[in-house]
Amino acid sequence: MALFGRKTEAAAPAARHSVNLDGVVHLVSEIVDCIGDSCPRPQLMTKKAVGGLPAGGVVEVLVDNPTSMEALPPMCAGLGAVHLATVKDTRCWKVYIRKD
C-alpha cells in the first residue's frame, strides 16, 4: 500500500468462507485486511465492519501489527461483539469477532 493510497480491491481476500474455531464452525461474513496498517486504522476498520454486520455475523480481521492485534479483543465489549479467537497465520494474525 502506498503511503496515501488504498489497497486494490483485487488484493482483498474473498469473504463468505467457514472457519473452525475450537470445534465450532463459523461462517465469515466479512474480511478486514489490515496488513501493513498500524493503530488506529485496524481498530477503526474493525469497528466499521462490525457495525455493518447483522447479529451473529462474523468478521475476520487480518493484522500484522502486534499492538493492533492486542487492541482488538478488548474493544469488542464496546461494539456489542464477542472475540471468538486469534489465530497466528504465516504472515499475520487472524482475529475473529462475532456481533451479538
d(CA 32, CA 42): 8
**pTM (whole model) above 0.95:** no
pLDDT in tens, 88-98: 999 999 999 99
In the prediction, which pLDDT does 16 show? 78
CB atoms within 10 A of CB 82: 14
Written as nine digits, the cell of 5 is 493510497
pLDDT in tens, 30-88: 999 999 999 999 999 999 999 999 999 999 999 999 999 999 999 999 999 999 999 99
- Please spell the DSSP secondary structure of 5-73, one letter per residue: ----GGGSPP--EEEEETTEEEEEEEEEEETT--TTHHHHHHHHHHHTSPTT-EEEEEE--HHHHHHHH
Domains and CATH numbers, the chain: 9-99 (3.30.110.40)
